[in-house]
Amino acid sequence: MLAQALPHTDQPPWVRKVLLSHEGVLAVLLVAETVVFSFLGRNFWGAQNSGEMVRLSAEIGLLALAMTPVIVTGGIDLSVGSLMGLSAVLFGKLWRDAHLPIAVAALATLGIGALCGLLNATLITRLRIPPLIVTLGSFSLFRGLAEGITSATDNFTNFPERFLFLGQGYFFGGVPAQGPIFLAAAVAFWLLLHRTAVGRSLYAIGFSAEGARHAGIPVERRLGLVYLLSGLTASLAAIVYVSHNGQAKADAGTGYELRAITAVVLGGTSIFGGRGRILGTLLGLWAIVVLQQGLLLSDGPAELAGILVGVLLIVAIAANRLLRKGE
Amino acid sequence: MIARYKRELSVATALGLLLLVLAVAAPSFFGADNLRAIGVSNAPVLVAAIGMTLVILTRQIDISIGSQFSICGVVAGLLAKEGIPAPVVALATLALGALFGAVNGALVAGLRLPSIVVTLATLVTWRESLRWITEGETVRNLPETFLWLGMGRPAGQAFIVISSLVLLALVAWGLRMLPAGRAVYAVGSDAEAARLAGIRPRRVVFGVFVLMGVLAALAALLTAIQFRNAQTNEGAGLELKVIAAAVVGGVAISGGRGTLIGAFIGVLLLGAISPALVFLKAEPYWEKAVQGAIILIAVATDAINLRQRKDVGASLAAH
């Protein structure tokens, strides 16, 4: 379709297709950022910086990966940042006060995260309350529980070395320990969304929930799965966060939900559902992280990253809108 | 009449129950000082909730108001410190709010971009701009003429509460009686039908966003005159608080349904939680948990009622 709009070019059609796709534009942006910061930033290409960027992106990246299928179904999950706080606090409680071995405490925390996701899912699917409202309520509930349990002051520290390795250590001298976790999660969500029938059905639901139901898709079960995975991933992000920072407080993950949503939407997932890819989310995430880290290393103002991300977000959706009008 | 205001009545009942418990367990809650404190601290929330209710009624949302609020509060403080008279400061702040609202409105109504993404972007952009310019520095020592608008504390407090209630009454009346008010409901119920009926939906949406900006600025002003210092992060999280109040009060996120009275009761209910916990000798740290539980219970009750009346296929996955 675009080929008809631009008939006289010498490039093979796939070049145009890639360059004009949302992911293509983001990839170009990412390369541009990298080039600029290679000149401006000190040690931008150093191994330490690459490791630091993986660390920075792991927690929000995990949330963004799980947020992608949620938004693909036309939903949203505002509660994930708060759930990180609740998971971090409960994880600390289980380990320090209930004297559970750290691995058992971590597993139990993942279970709690899944249960909290299930609570969202139940309200959304059984009572048919809009996801925005349900997760706005649990956004407040989860953070409030975390603050109540710790009286908003208790701080869990002195975690064992072995556990801190997960967030602070390196494999083979250079690969940050949370790298493989993030990679595994990315592959898992990519497989789910792009290589399974369940993934296809999520697009159908996002496109038209009613239509999907008529086509025989168990809409409630599919949506339930998506919000359950979102809760589970939020508690995984919380465990990585605790290990990374060496402490667990009620304020863990504050504001992360909006950052994750930003990465997903910048990555080309439509907020109305039915459209979006894991690759786009990863590119959106990295575009933000490289911008933040690059400005840091070139002594630029840190706030400029936020301002540029805001502007980029609007440009991205506006461009998307105009491009699709042409189709 | 009762069926029409069922949602408002059920929230009012919840508020009544809370007040009843307080009357029995902690009558000192109804002391004049405490009631005045609750009124003054929630008046700005009410002002912002009025704007948010209109935005939600047109089926849009504005999550950038916390950042608008912060900037307007700081700008008002800086202007006041320059020795500019309070009325001029107020006008300039409201104009700035209108400008912020117009940016959101132009992007949403003009370019037809989804409001949740647009206002997410402006939330981040305005907040970081403020942080960059002020470097997080608090505006200290606001002049006496600006504090309580120079009226002194008691009169200033009365002014804040009364002006927010008058505004509520005015906008509620306008929403029911003026063509512009009916247009807000019409656009939120069905924009295409509204267009065919001669309403211009995009103008209505633009206007509502501008009004939201003005009211966010007014809320910031009503807060700024209460304190000696203007914090740069004063408005952080205001958006979700205000949306929660509107939703608890029965304003439907799908647009076209809800009243300002409901939003008002929602503000009162959520605003009473924190002082109620203090008076009931519970730890105040549970405030957000109780608020969250109230939001979920309120919308769940409403959903169950709705299903009983008729099995409405309220769009499952829509926002």
Between B247, B287, B303, which is nearest A128 by CB? Answer: B303
Least confident of A236-245, A305-314, B103-112: A305-314
If pLDDT is split at 50, 70 and 90, which confidence band does A249 have?
very high
ipTM reported for the complex, 2 dp: 0.87
Is B240 in contact with A140 (Cβ distance < 8 A)?
A: yes
Between B125, B254, B300, which is nearest A311 by CB? Answer: B125
pLDDT digits (tens, 9 = 90+) for A96-122: 999 999 999 999 999 999 999 999 999
**Nearest-angstrom CA–CA distance, A225 and A228:** 5
Contacts of B233 (CB under 8 A, 6+ apart): B70, B136
Is A138 in contact with B132 (Cβ distance < 8 A)?
A: no
Is B304 in contact with A271 (Cβ distance < 8 A)?
A: no
pLDDT digits (tens, 9 = 90+) for B135-161: 888 888 888 889 898 888 999 999 999
Chain centroid, CA B215 distance in Å: 8
Asked if residue B5 has pLDDT above 60, the reply is: yes
Per-residue model confidence (pLDDT) at position A265 = 93
CATH number of the domain within which B38 lies:
1.10.3470
CATH number of A48-326: 1.10.3470
φ, ψ of residue B139 to 5 degrees: the values are: -85, 115
Chain A positions touching B132 (Cβ under 8 A) are 301, 303-304, 307
Query: A47 and chain B: CB distance < 8 Å anywhere?
Result: no
Q: Is the dihedral of CA A11, A14, A17, A19 positive or negative?
A: negative
Q: Which domain holds residue B153?
A: 6-18+32-303
Distance from CA of B123 to the nearest CA of A (A): 8
Query: A311 and chain B: CB distance < 8 Å anywhere?
Result: yes
**Nearest-angstrom CA–CA distance, A240 and A159:** 13
Distance from CA of B62 to the nearest CA of A (A): 13
Tokens coding B196: 């065919």
Chain A positions touching B318 (Cβ under 8 A) are 74, 130, 209
Do A81 and A106 meet the contact criterion of CB atoms below 8 Å apart?
A: no
Q: How far is CA A18 from CA A136, A326, B60, in A?
A: 37, 16, 33
Between B111, B253, B286, which is nearest A133 by CB? Answer: B253
**Nearest-angstrom CA–CA distance, A60 and A29:** 20
- Which residue in chain A is spatially nearest to B130 when comparing CA positions? A303
Between A141, A311, A317, which is nearest B296 by CB? Answer: A141
Q: Locate all alpha helices (DSSP H) within chain B, ordered by sequence.
A: 6-25, 32-57, 65-81, 86-105, 115-134, 153-177, 179-189, 191-196, 201-224, 238-248, 260-279, 287-309
Per-residue model confidence (pLDDT) at position A7 = 47
CB pairs under 8 A between A and B: 173
Distance from CA of B145 to the nearest CA of A (A): 33
Residues found in chain A: 327
Asked if residue A47 has pLDDT above 80, the reply is: no
- A9 versus A293: the higher-pLDDT residue is A293
Chain B positions touching A301 (Cβ under 8 A) are 132
Site of tokens 């608020």:
B291
The residues that bridge with A176 in the sheet, in sequence order, are A170
- A308 versus A45: the higher-pLDDT residue is A308
Residue B113: inside a domain: yes
- Give CA torsion, residues B114, B120, B126, B129, to 10 deg: -120
Is B292 in contact with A139 (Cβ distance < 8 A)?
A: yes
- Give CA torsion, residues B16, B20, B22, B23, to 10 deg: 130
Between A137, A148, A262, which is nearest B295 by CB? Answer: A137
Is A137 in contact with B114 (Cβ distance < 8 A)?
A: no
Residues 194 to 233 of A: which have CB under 8 A from any B CB? 205-206, 209-210, 219, 223
Is A306 in contact with B125 (Cβ distance < 8 A)?
A: yes
CB atoms within 10 A of CB B97: 29
- Which residue in chain B is spatially nearest to A131 when comparing CA positions? B319
Query: A310 and chain B: CB distance < 8 Å anywhere?
Result: yes
Per-residue model confidence (pLDDT) at position A95 = 96
**Which amino acid is it at B74?**
V
Is A262 in contact with B120 (Cβ distance < 8 A)?
A: yes
Is A147 in contact with B307 (Cβ distance < 8 A)?
A: no
Q: Does residue B250 come out as left (phi exceeding 0), alpha (psi in the -120 to 50 range) or beta?
A: left
Q: What is the largest CA-CA distance in chain B?
A: 61
Question: Could you give the number of structural domains in chain B?
Answer: 1
Between B116, B129, B314, which is nearest A128 by CB? Answer: B314
The residue of B296, B299, B305, B306 whose CB has the most chain A CBs within 10 angstroms, and thus the best one to mutate to test that interface, is B296
Task: Provide the residue ranges of all domains of chain A, joining segments of one domain with +.
Answer: 48-326
The residue of A72, A126, A128, A295 whose CB has the most chain B CBs within 10 angstroms, and thus the best one to mutate to test that interface, is A128
**Nearest-angstrom CA–CA distance, A295 and A36:** 10
The residue of B67, B124, B291, B311 whose CB has the most chain A CBs within 10 angstroms, and thus the best one to mutate to test that interface, is B124
Asked if residue A56 has pLDDT above 90, the reply is: no
Query: A127 and chain B: CB distance < 8 Å anywhere?
Result: yes
Between B123, B289, B304, which is nearest A127 by CB? Answer: B304
Query: A141 and chain B: CB distance < 8 Å anywhere?
Result: yes
Contacts of B62 (CB under 8 A, 6+ apart): B51, B52, B55, B104, B115, B119, B209, B212, B239
Closest CA to B251 of B298, B316, B219, B305: B298
At residue A64's C-alpha, the angle toward residues A62 and A68, to 5°, is 125
pLDDT digits (tens, 9 = 90+) for A179-234: 999 999 999 999 999 999 999 999 999 999 999 999 999 999 999 999 999 999 99
Share of chain A above pLDDT 70, in %: 93
Do B41 and B275 meet the contact criterion of CB atoms below 8 Å apart?
A: no
Distance from CA of A162 to the nearest CA of B (A): 33
Is B125 in contact with A307 (Cβ distance < 8 A)?
A: yes
Between B113, B128, B243, which is nearest A307 by CB? Answer: B128
Chain A positions touching B243 (Cβ under 8 A) are 136
Name the 3-class secondary structure at B282.
coil
Is B129 in contact with A303 (Cβ distance < 8 A)?
A: yes
Residue B198: inside a domain: yes
Per-residue model confidence (pLDDT) at position B296 = 93
If pLDDT is split at 50, 70 and 90, which confidence band does B6 have?
confident
Per-residue model confidence (pLDDT) at position A211 = 94
Tokens coding A133: 């409202």
Asked if residue B314 has pLDDT above 50, the reply is: no
